[in-house]
Amino acid sequence: MTEVAAPKPSLAFFDAVALIVGIVIGAGIFQTPALVAANSGSNLAVLLFWLAGGAASFVGALCYAELATTYPDVGGTYYYLKRSFGRIIAFLFAWARMTVIQTGSIALLAFVFGDYASQIWRLGGFSSSVYAATAILFLTALNIIGLQQGKWTQNLLTAAKVLGLLLIVVIGLTVSASEVPSVPDTSSGGAIGLAMVFVLLSYGGWNEAAYISAEIQDFRRNIVRSLLASIGIITAIYLLINLAYLRGLGLAGMTQSEAVAADLMRRLWGEGGAVFVSLLIAVSTLGALNATIFTGARTNYALGQDFSVFAFMGRWQKRPSAPKEAFILQTGIALALVLVGTFTRKGFETMVDYTAPVFWFFFLLSGISLFVLRRREPHVQRPFRVPFYPWTPLLFCLICGYLLYSSLAYTGVGATMGVLVVAAGIPLLLWNRYRQRPN
């Protein structure tokens, strides 16, 4: 009998931490601190906002830790939604992740990489798009070659980005307070909710740990450890980097900056420092892009296992270990979104609008699924139980609901396009049902 290839527990604790940290610390920490500062009334408020973001992520991680250890599956959230709400909701989530959430995030990160790589070496009028498409193709090929190549690439990129960020922290914190330029204070402290929107955007991505639950060694222990350790590392880095920004530029200087990290390094090291930051952001975004490509194909594989219309994605390449067809389709959709962003000439903004509402809607459903599964399957062994149930998951759902409202309030045409693309999955679902009907 031919052995069917399937995911194997090949990821160690350190690999999981590198993957989660690599996804979360992408481009956000280089873009959102100035926006948070603009909605803060003091240096302390800035740091409290970032601390609150870590706490909110910690609450969500506790909920996901129970789901991932109780139901380890390569489909992650797709599997939880299927058990909780049935195949229709699960299908729409997997379709949304394949066409909007994950592929939109891949395109978004690729555009940021392209923008900063173009600061170092420009490739003509469409430089950002060329870099974006090239990065997607190269990293996808690397992950198709095999798990070992993909995870070691991720580990190296994550290490490089963390070391670079810590270097900025050290430089920023060693600046004498008297050297901070005098800038009129234009900050205000009235938009707490808006500040948290930007903060939580920068913390997004830790939930991707759910998609490696079937591939992590000693998953009952390492999923919880990797989630909590990663969020602890990320929170510490975010607090330190914002402390460095405040020390080096001051609150008003942060508020007026369009590229806060580059401005800090330019003031201390001149244009050479600005180039260094551009290189750091390119590496940082490349790490997040690789991790997002890595986890995204896992849901496509799970979808192909359950629905015949996508059966071609439900095959796992045994040697090397990878869902090859799922990777290829994901890349095709991501490249199409890069093309859309190229024509709108607002690649990053378009992708944020496109992905945010859909992401937070299904994130809210994943929180609700914890309540549903606790009630429906009370006798299932749960290696980790979320503390202070039901208040902890309820708080998580409230946070998701608020971000869903905010993403709809602050986005435009891109959000509508994302919702319509998700709705386009309904005819495919009906076609799948028709194909499976007995003759």
Domain locations along the chain: 13-433
Q: Extract the tokens encoding 286.
A: 């490349």
For 242-277, the pLDDT digits (tens) are 998 888 888 888 888 766 777 787 777 777 777 887
Q: Is the peptide bond before 390 cis (omega within 30 degrees of 0)?
A: yes
Cβ contact 207:77 at 8 Å: yes
For 146-172, the pLDDT digits (tens) are 655 555 666 677 777 777 778 778 877
Mean pLDDT of 59-88: 86
In the chain, what percentage of residues exceed pLDDT 70?
78
The answer to whether residue 62 scores a pLDDT higher than 80 is yes
How many other C-beta atoms are found inside a 10 Å radius of the C-beta of residue 385? 12
- Block residue for tokens 């973001």: 53
- The reported pLDDT for the residue numbered 137 is 93
In the chain, what percentage of residues exceed pLDDT 90?
17
Spatial neighbors of 104 by CB under 8 A, at least 6 apart, are: 337, 351, 354, 355, 418
Cβ contact 69:381 at 8 Å: no
For 391-405, the pLDDT digits (tens) are 999 999 999 998 888
Global pTM?
Answer: 0.76
Fold for 13-433, please state it. Answer: Amino acid/polyamine transporter I (1.20.1740)
